[in-house]
Structure 1
Amino acid sequence: MSDPKKFWKFMLVLGFTAMRLPLILLFLGICIVAPAPLSSLWFSLALGAMILSAATDLLDGLLARRLHVESRIGAYADPLVDKFFYLTAFPTLVYLAARQEPALHAQVLLVLAILFLGRDQWVSFLRSTGALYDVDAKANWSGKARTLISFPVLCIIFYYLQAPRSWGFQFQPWLVYCLEALGMGINLISIWVYTRHYAPCLKKEIRLGYESLDIQRPTTTARPGNHPPPPAEPG
């Protein structure tokens, strides 16, 4: 690269994005290995790792724009790392809720997890379809709002599930359920917005796929005296 300073700025932003991976793995490791209930030290480390992981997602794009090192690989790496974050955080929270909370809360978190992860797969499919028609794959307002809401909500859910009593402050259950409902709502909105955006491409592909089918089987006209051979006897 002709400008070494710009290269290191570019690598700094990519490293900032990749930092979410070890942080969320640290969170997972503490939640699985540390004895329950988590001590104040283990809880602080896990919550700190989760908050830092969320902060890198909110700041890496801003940092790339401020340093003028926006790139296509960065635009694709960011949602990839986001998926890894959700894929790790949600099952961990479901596990913690099932271990300590009434079954209802674990079930709600399970539905929320499926909705989050399913939405990501659906959007990836839509973007792949849109790429066939050179449609811009950048995140729209619903995706950004989803990210802005989901990271704090996940941190609050973890705090609610695992915060030691010695910390004093506790979130009320009704507030946590409302935040989880908000997470479900923003995911449904995001699914609708992305589907509407890519609907023309999806319709074209469905139509082309249907038209490419050989829906009429070739037929053979029977002629007098031209009978098909009898089936072979079983050997």
Structure 2
Amino acid sequence: MKLFVNFITLLRLPCISAVVILNLFWNPVEYPAIFISTLVLIALCGITDYLDGYLARRFSVESNFGAHADPLLDKLFFTGIFPVLVFLAALNCDTFHALLLVLTTVVFSFRDQLVSFFRMIGDRQGISPRASMWGKLRTATAFPGIILIYSYLGFPHEYGSFFVPRGFIIAVEMYLITVTLVTFFLYLVQYFPALRREME
């Protein structure tokens, strides 16, 4: 069972790679098959992100590999998908949206790298805080949020106009930025004593 759970975790890697390759070489607005395939792959990433953790806890097969691989693959997912969204916004000549997505990309990347640094310092001192409600909320809402954003940017012309208004999509992006910043500051507060000791 442990191997199966780790396989589910690693399944995200080819899914992420496929999303990036498909959308950089074929515009989903013009190719509905690319649009649908990408939605399926993003959804699969979200499902496996939930399923591996659930199965590991349910059958008591947690492993150090899974504990490190799961957040790493989350980082790889965000690192891969946000540039794709920026690219699609630029193709649509939506400068404001592209800039907002660039900001989202930077916030996600900075937060993830700094949290990894905090955890490294914490491990040196035997500190391992439990995941906060905000962190779980960020992970649980990021995947459906990204599906909405991608659907808005890549919706094929032959299907008509996407049914969710632009203002709502921008609100989703602002929410993702906000919840990511909140989780960063919560981690900073948790790890600050360890950081201070390292600097003394």
TM class, shorter-length: over 0.9
- Pairing 1:197–2:182 present: no
Distance, in Å, in 2 between the alignment partners of 1:101 and 1:142 is 34
Indicate the residue corresponding to 2:74 in structure 1.
Answer: 82
Indicate the residue corresponding to 1:59 in structure 2.
Answer: 51
Unpaired segments of 5 or more residues in structure 1? 1-8, 208-235
Unpaired segments of 5 or more residues in structure 2? none
Instruction: Give the stretch that moved more between structures: 184-193 or 157-166.
Output: 157-166
Distance, in Å, in 2 between the alignment partners of 1:113 and 1:165 is 26
1:165 is displaced (CA, Å) by 3.7
1:81 is displaced (CA, Å) by 0.6
For 2:7, the aligned partner's letter is: G
Instruction: Give the stretch that moved more between structures: 161-170 or 175-184.
Output: 161-170
Q: Which has the larger radius of gyration?
A: 1
Distance, in Å, in 1 between the alignment partners of 2:70 and 2:131 is 11
Aligned residue among 130, 139, 147 for 1:147? 139
Considering only aligned residues, what root-mean-square deviation do their CA atoms show, in Å? 1.4
Distance, in Å, in 1 between the alignment partners of 2:2 and 2:151 is 34
Matches within 5 A, 1:86-101: 86-101=78-93
Aligned residue among 65, 69, 94 for 1:102? 94
Identical-pair percentage? 35
Task: Go from structure 1 to structure 2 and tell me whether the alpha carbon gap of 1:204 and 1:155 turns closer, same or farther (over 3 Å shift).
Answer: same
Q: Which has the higher contact order (CA 8 A, sep 6+)?
A: 2
Distance, in Å, in 1 between the alignment partners of 2:127 and 2:153 is 42
Aligned residue among 110, 121, 138 for 1:118? 110
For 1:173, the aligned partner's letter is: R
Distance, in Å, in 2 between the alignment partners of 1:39 and 1:127 is 42
1:154 is displaced (CA, Å) by 0.9
The list of structure 1 runs, each at least 4 consecutive aligned residues, that deviate by more than 6 angstroms after superposition, is none
1:170 is displaced (CA, Å) by 2.2
Q: TM-score, normalised by structure 1?
A: 0.81
Indicate the SS of the match to 1:186: helix
Given that 2:75 and 2:112 are in contact with CA atoms closer than 8 Å, whether structure 1 keeps it comes out as: yes
Distance, in Å, in 1 between the alignment partners of 2:88 and 2:118 is 33
- Pairing 1:183–2:152 present: no
Indicate the SS of the match to 1:135: coil
Distance, in Å, in 1 between the alignment partners of 2:163 and 2:154 is 10
Indicate the residue corresponding to 1:159 in structure 2.
Answer: 151
Indicate the residue corresponding to 1:211 in structure 2.
Answer: none
Given that 2:125 and 2:194 are in contact with CA atoms closer than 8 Å, whether structure 1 keeps it comes out as: yes
Distance, in Å, in 1 between the alignment partners of 2:27 and 2:196 is 52
Given that 1:75 and 1:138 are in contact with CA atoms closer than 8 Å, whether structure 2 keeps it comes out as: no
Distance, in Å, in 1 between the alignment partners of 2:114 and 2:140 is 20
Q: TM-score, normalised by structure 2?
A: 0.94
Indicate the residue corresponding to 1:71 in structure 2.
Answer: 63
Indicate the residue corresponding to 1:18 in structure 2.
Answer: 10
For 2:73, the aligned partner's letter is: V
Distance, in Å, in 2 between the alignment partners of 1:35 and 1:188 is 31
Distance, in Å, in 2 between the alignment partners of 1:124 and 1:35 is 34
Higher percent of residues as helix:
2
For 1:151, the aligned partner's letter is: F
Task: Go from structure 1 to structure 2 and tell me whether the alpha carbon gap of 1:36 and 1:165 turns closer, same or farther (over 3 Å shift).
Answer: closer
Distance, in Å, in 1 between the alignment partners of 2:157 and 2:84 is 21
For residues 63-121 of structure 1, give each alpha carbon's deviation from its aligned partner in whole angstroms, at most 9, with x where no partner exists: 11122211122111100111110110011111111111420100000000100010001
